[in-house]
């Protein structure tokens, strides 16, 4: 199998490259795939000899998106749509990554893939545009909504906690936002396997959820990071109202992963196992 992958430096893109195995990866980064120019990205699909396409590119600056929504919408919405249409024209399956931010975060029940969307801010709106465009293109596709992505690469909550925990013995962490931390390695493995299955069975097309389990608050996630890394840091629970941000975050990011297991045979990943691997990679696991 040969995959055309959009993205080279992001958390998921790096894990796709690391976990390719016998899969041939042709990856395009910003130098060859400018996501502010949709037609140029679509042209790469038109010219490829790959068997499927994975889009691992996204505008993920949630707060900055409130001030740059047109740009976020092009990167997260317009360009994925152009890629999806080019995939449909070529008969190539497309795997696309979306987010829990397409929901409003109301209640405490896990969101199912068919739950009505109602994004709270610009980032969620831009990602919803992308989802809708991929589906509307009419080709074989899998949209995976994920949440709280972490890895040993880039900027994420695990690395932030390790940095802050090295200098402080007490941190206040939001405790009323609950969701599933998701390791980029698990997302990468899912994208590769979903692409493989879609090649054989385009009927598996649809929108799915992929989040790590069990669900946890940011505060309790931090406690686990500190416990596994051996950092002696007191975590004090605070509500979101005491940690204001430009963009509103959903309080409930729980997502129902059942259809991902039913259709693709992929069980919900355990973030605790993935966190151990991340800390090992960073040399931060308690000995």
CB contact set of 42 (below 8 Å; sequence gap of 6+): 82, 83, 85, 86
Query: What's the token pair of residue 19?
Result: 């976990």
* Cis peptide preceding 219, ω within 30 of 0: no
Phi first, then psi: give them for residue 17, nearest 5 degrees: -60, -40
The question of whether 123 is a catalytic residue gets the answer yes
Determine which helix (DSSP H) or strand (DSSP E) holds 126, and give its type and residue range: helix 122-136
CA 54 to chain centre: 12
User: Whole-angstrom Cα distance, residue 257 to residue 254?
Assistant: 10
For 53, phi and psi rounded to 5 degrees?
-125, 135
Query: What is the Cα gyration radius of the chain?
Result: 18
8-state DSSP, 206:
E
Query: 59, 101, 123, 208: which one is catalytic?
Result: 123
Beta-carbon count within 10 A of 276 CB: 15
Catalytic residue annotation? 123
């Amino acid at each position: 199998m040969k995959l055309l992958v959009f993205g080279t430096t992001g958390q998921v893109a790096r894990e796709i490259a690391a976990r390719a195995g016998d899969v041939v990866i042709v990856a395009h980064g910003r130098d060859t795939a400018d996501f502010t120019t949709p037609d140029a990205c679509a042209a790469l699909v038109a010219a490829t000899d790959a068997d499927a396409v994975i889009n691992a590119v996204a505008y993920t600056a949630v707060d900055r998106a409130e001030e740059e929504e047109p740009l976020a919408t092009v990167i997260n919405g317009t360009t994925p749509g152009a890629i999806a249409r080019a995939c449909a024209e070529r008969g190539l399956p497309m795997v696309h990554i979306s987010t829990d931010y397409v929901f409003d975060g109301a209640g405490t029940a896990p969101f199912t893939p068919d739950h009505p969307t109602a994004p709270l801010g610009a980032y969620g709106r831009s990602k919803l545009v992308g989802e809708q465009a991929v589906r509307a293109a009419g080709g074989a596709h899998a949209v995976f909504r994920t949440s709280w992505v972490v890895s040993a690469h880039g900027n994420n909550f695990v690395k932030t906690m390790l940095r802050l925990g090295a200098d402080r013995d007490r941190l206040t962490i939001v405790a009323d936002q609950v969701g599933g931390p998701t390791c980029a390695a698990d997302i990468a493995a899912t994208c590769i396997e979903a692409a493989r299955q879609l090649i054989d069975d385009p009927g598996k097309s649809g929108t799915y959820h992929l989040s790590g389990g069990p669900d946890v608050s940011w505060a309790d996630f931090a406690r686990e990071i500190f416990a596994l890394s051996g950092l002696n840091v007191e975590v004090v629970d605070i509500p979101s109202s005491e940690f204001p941000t430009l963009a509103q975050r959903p309080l409930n990011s729980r997502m129902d992963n059942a259809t991902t297991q039913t259709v693709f045979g992929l069980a919900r990943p355990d973030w605790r196992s993935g966190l151990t691997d991340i800390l090992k990679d960073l040399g931060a696991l308690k000995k």
